[in-house]
Chain A
Amino acid sequence: MGKLFQLGISFLKHSKMLTFSAFFSIFIACFLGVGLFQLSSNIDSSIRAAVMEEMQQYEDSELYASVLEEELAGYQGMHYFFMILYGLIIGISSLFILSIFHELLKKYIREMAIIRTFGGTTGQVNLIFLFLSVVISFAACLAAGIVAVSMDTFLLNYLNQKYEFFRGRMAIDWWMFFGMIFLTFLILNVFLMIFFAFSQYGLPVEIFHRTETGLRRRKDGLRFLNLRKIMGKNGYLAWKLLLPKWKQGLFIILLIICMTAFSYVGDSFMKLLSMNTYAYYEDLLKGADGHCELMPDMEDSMIAAEEVALIRERCKKKQVECGYIHGVYEGQMGNAWGFYTTDLSYFKRHYIKETYQNISSVPVGQQIVVGKILAEQEGYHLGERIRLKSDYLKEEKEYTLVGIFDWSPYSIQKEYQILVDQTNYRDSQEEENNGNGNSVSLYFYGDCDAIQNIFITLKQEGWSFTGYISEKIWKNTEKQLGQMNILSKIVIWGLMLVIATGWLNSVRGMLISGKRDYHVLRLLGAEQRCVQKICNLQIKIYLLAGIVFGTILGFALAKELWEKELYYGLRLDMHLGSTLGILLLFWLFSLLLRKTVREVSK
């Protein structure tokens, strides 16, 4: 057994590049995994503490209990999110680590065949490679653990300062720490063990006599000579030499395509989330400092106009201006989705730039304002007489268009696109309302603390609503989007490092396997510079094939998945930021191949 292990060690010594690549890939996977779960653990304890604190401001214990339960349930999703991220890291890293060990296996396949010729079993051969994988993964996980202990505290505290993941400073969760290192070590070696068990194929004699290419008759091999005019002589030869070997690199290219597409889709998702979230809140707030929507106690009851007036008065005392939209729900009747009233004086002040020049001649009760989108759709213009039909009105009534507003570019619904003055509103106590209920949307303009106090008072009075304060919303939104963004970027770029390492080894293997062909070119009169250019072009083809197809696939997927989720007026354009970043990373890695290119082109 000792001799077998000695043989394994000598393989490691003679395959420094492969050994380092495997070590580096495992290191990254383990380091990322440990870091992610340390972050998750700190976020978890921080959130519990914060939620407990915040809920104490509510005196109602029932309310407190239900909100606490809701908040904590929401954060369960975060745990699943981290587990999915870890699963991705381990899954994708394993594939690349397998590819690196596959290269190692290919390199020593003749040696293994010789061992088997002299009585060695496949089990003994498996043991050698398993030993290699245990040694490399143990060293890598240990190194990742040591680096994580020293760097995670610094890194996570730095990230926390920028993105406020958790309160206070980071504390290492030692159970999680050692658990993740052990789990990563175990998962990788189980994968490798399975891989080695299935990779011992063929008898030694088959390996000794194996030819590199299959015998196949091809059509005229010289029919593409004219491609030299486009690709140049070097490009043509690079492509010709690479083409028969496409199967060798297919696995890596497919993984690069998948990762590039995944990165693009992930990026698009973050953009969508960001655009939609901002659009949603802009649509919700409509330029106000705060907003809430009050619902009546029963679905078919009405909120009285006096109640709204009282709320507005209370706000005025706190130096907060309160605008509102008081609406009645309707079915698809007439030319309005619902019947909405507002204090037109406040509304015109905030949302309308240009009013009808003869507005003073139009009684307030006959004034109507219409949204820009609806005005364009129906061809309305200022001063026009509009007949409004509504169940609530019971009859058609004529209004004069005195203003066109554009307070929400994101909504195309007819809801909130037609507004008349509050004098048109009648309470349910006085009129039948045909079973329709209503709601009141309140828009607050003033100090955020004052608005928060108004929300607390309204809740204490028994109103049920979700209050939105713009300052807090934008701050929280930025924080949450920033957190998601940075986490996803860390994971994607960590994986990209692993993939780039796997790609590097695959390309190096391809160059070395083509050494003989490059040597023939040199003998036939090709300059070393020319052969180096051919090698470099092959490297570029190998790289660009994955990235270009990955970007196209990512773009197609993003359009398919996300475009219909976008708010009106938003577009998911092609963005090449992540693609260029991936290209730069791989280009930097390709610089490590210069020595190999020089060697094979001698």
Chain B
Amino acid sequence: MKEILRLENIHKVYTTGKYALEALKGVSLSLHEGEVMVVMGGSGSGKSTLLHIIGAMTEATEGGIYLDGKKEERYGLEPDATRIRAENIGFIFQSFQLITDFTVGENVSLPLILAGESRKSILKKTEEMLRLVKIEEKENSPVLELSGGQQQRVAIARALIHEPKILLADEPTGNLDSQTAEDIMRLFLEVREKRGQSVIIVTHDPWIASYADRIIFLRDGRITGKYENSSQTRDVNEVMRRFRESQAGKRRRV
């Protein structure tokens, strides 16, 4: 499978006054086309920082990032960061981050409006996306009228409409009940099947992680384990066991 993203030896240090906190310590990973990857870790493990770096929302202190095999020297720095986000990344958040004053259609079409696409193209693609996430009848509804699951579908449609290479999801099911969460995860897989979309999901929930093709475990800013799910089945217990193993050093210290 084609490699679309590679991180090499990524370090991220936050400095506040005389204090420095190293959130990521030499993280290296790669993402392939059509792959669903989960980044799993406890609080403070650095998974959100990793997501922010991949999403070009912040720059790495050290290390290289390759997009489609090409090294991006200014990956998290403006103005390249905006261009990278616009062309390659789609975001999905735990709290959906929809514009509450807009309708469903207006929210979904926003990336295309920003890109300056024609009216015809915007209307066509918006309809397509809404159909993909099975919410086309709600096009003119205000987003606050929708349930949590429906709002997340809108967020997914918005994230996909400009055909990004990578979909980044930060705890996408965190605010949803279990049934809705399962629907959303199935939607991710469906999107992967239909569009060959690569997805990176950040979560601390092993049940969500079990949907992944590959799981990366983080602890204290380092990768402490990997799990490749080559089978078609979801083994939550195995994921939990691997997660416990990856966090084992921390527990011994306690």
Residues of chain A touching chain B, judged by Cβ–Cβ distance below 8 Å, are 211-213, 215-222, 225-226, 228, 233, 236-237, 240-241, 243-245, 516-517, 519-528, 530
Contacts of A215 in B (CB 8 A): 142, 144-145
Inter-chain CA distance A195–B145, complex, in Å, is 33
* Contact status B103-A218, CB under 8 Å: yes
Q: Are B99 and A530 in contact (CB under 8 A)?
A: no
Instruction: Across the interface, name the chain B residue whose C-beta is closest to A229.
Output: B119
Say yes or no: A221-B105 contact (C-beta < 8 A), given A520-B97, A520-B99. Answer: yes
| Chain A CB within 10 A, most for which of B78, B86, B91, B110 | B110
Bound form: Cα–Cα A580–B43 in Å: 57
B140 on the A face (CB < 8 A): yes
5 more CB-based (< 8 A) A-B contacts, given A216-B142, A221-B103, A526-B82: A215-B144, A220-B139, A225-B122, A228-B119, A521-B110
Question: What are the residues of chain A within 8 A of B122 when measuring CB–CB?
Answer: 222, 225
Q: Are B144 and A522 in contact (CB under 8 A)?
A: no
Q: Contacts A211-B144, A240-B106, A523-B91: A225 and B101 contacting too (C-beta < 8 A)? A: no
Q: A215-B142, A525-B82, A526-B114 are in contact. Are A222 and B126 (CB under 8 A)?
A: yes
When C-beta atoms are compared, the residue in chain A nearest to B97 turns out to be A520
Q: Tell me the minimal C-beta distance from B137 to chain A in angstroms.
A: 12
Q: Which chain B positions have C-beta within 8 A of A222?
A: 105-106, 109, 119, 122-123, 126
B140 touches A527 (CB 8 A): no
B207 interfacial contact with A, CB 8 Å: no
Residue among A212, A221, A241 with most chain B CB within 10 A: A221
User: A524 CA to B164 CA in the complex, in Å?
Assistant: 11
- Residues on A with C-beta less than 8 A from B87 are 525
What are the 3 tightest A-B residue pairs by CB atom distance, in nearest-first order? A525-B86, A244-B101, A221-B103
Query: Taking chain B's interface residues, is the majority helix, strand, or loop, or is none over half, making it mixed?
Result: helix
Q: Which residue of A lies closest to B118 (CB)?
A: A225
Partner of A525, one of B100, B106, B162: B162
Known A-B contacts A213-B101, A220-B140, A244-B101; the reply to A527 vs B79 at CB < 8 A is yes
- B141 interface hit (Cβ, 8 Å): yes
Contact string against A for B residues 60-89, beta-carbon threshold 8 Å, 1 for contact and 0 otherwise: 000000000000000000110011011100
- Cα A528 to Cα B80 in complex, Å, equals 12
Contacts of A521 in B (CB 8 A): 110, 114
Considering only CB atoms, which chain A residue lies closest to B164 in the complex?
A525
Q: Does the CB pair A221–B82 fall under 8 Å?
A: no
Q: A527 CA to B113 CA in the complex, in Å? A: 13
CB distance from A217 to the nearest CB of B (A): 6
**In the bound complex, do residue A524 and residue B105 qualify as a contact, i.e. CB atoms below 8 Å apart?**
no
Q: How far is the CA of A216 from the CA of B100 in the complex (A)?
A: 11
B103 nearest in chain A by CB position: A221
Q: Write the nearest CB–CB distance from A115 to chain B, whole angstroms.
A: 27
Cα–Cα, bound, A212→B143 (Å): 12
CA distance A245 to B115 in the complex (A): 25
Residue of A nearest to B161 (CB): A524
* B57 cross-chain contacts in A, Cβ below 8 A: 523
Residue numbers in B under 8 Å from A527 (CB-CB): 78-79, 82
Is B140 a contact partner of A217 (Cβ separation < 8 A)? yes
User: Contact residues of B with A, CB < 8 Å?
Assistant: 57, 78-79, 82-83, 85-87, 91, 97-103, 105-106, 109-111, 113-116, 119, 122-123, 126, 139-142, 144-145, 158, 162
List residues of chain A with CB within 8 A of the CB of B123. Answer: 222, 225
User: What residues on A are CB-neighbors of B113 within 8 Å?
Assistant: 225, 228, 233, 236-237
Q: Are A524 and B140 in contact (CB under 8 A)?
A: no
Cα separation A218 to B142 with both chains bound (whole Å):
7
| Complex CA distance for A519 and B102, rounded to whole angstroms | 15
Closest to B102 in A: A221
A222, A241, A522, most chain B CB atoms within 10 A: A222
Question: A219 touching B140 by the CB < 8 A rule?
Answer: yes
27 contacts between A and B (CB under 8 A): A211-B144, A212-B101, A216-B142, A218-B103, A221-B103, A221-B140, A222-B109, A222-B119, A222-B123, A225-B113, A225-B123, A233-B114, A236-B113, A244-B101, A517-B99, A523-B57, A523-B85, A523-B91, A524-B86, A524-B91, A524-B110, A524-B111, A525-B82, A525-B111, A526-B86, A526-B114, A527-B78
- What distance in Å separates the Cβ of A224 from its nearest Cβ neighbour in chain B? 10
Which residues does chain B contribute within 8 Å of A245, judged by CB atoms? 101
Chain B residue at minimum C-beta to C-beta distance from A232: B116
Q: Return chain A residues, CB-CB under 8 Å to B100.
A: 211-213
Q: Decide: A217 and B142 in contact? CB cutoff 8 A.
A: yes
Cβ–Cβ contact A530 & B141, under 8 A: no
Cβ–Cβ < 8 Å partners of A218 in chain B: 103, 140, 142
Q: Are A522 and B142 in contact (CB under 8 A)?
A: no
Task: Check A523 against B78 for contact (C-beta < 8 Å).
Answer: no
| A335 → B minimal CB distance (Å) | 72
Rounded to whole angstroms, the CA-CA distance of A220 and B113 in the bound complex is 16
Cβ contacts under 8 Å, A211 to chain B: 100, 144
**Which residues on the B side are within 8 Å of A519 (C-beta)?**
97
CA–CA, A216 and B144, complex, Å: 9
CA distance A466 to B141 in the complex (A): 76
User: Chain A contacts of B91 at CB under 8 A?
Assistant: 523-524
A residues in contact with B158, CB < 8 Å: 524
Contact A213 B144 (CB under 8 A): yes
* Known contacts A219-B140, A520-B99, A523-B97; A528 and B126 CB within 8 A of each other: no
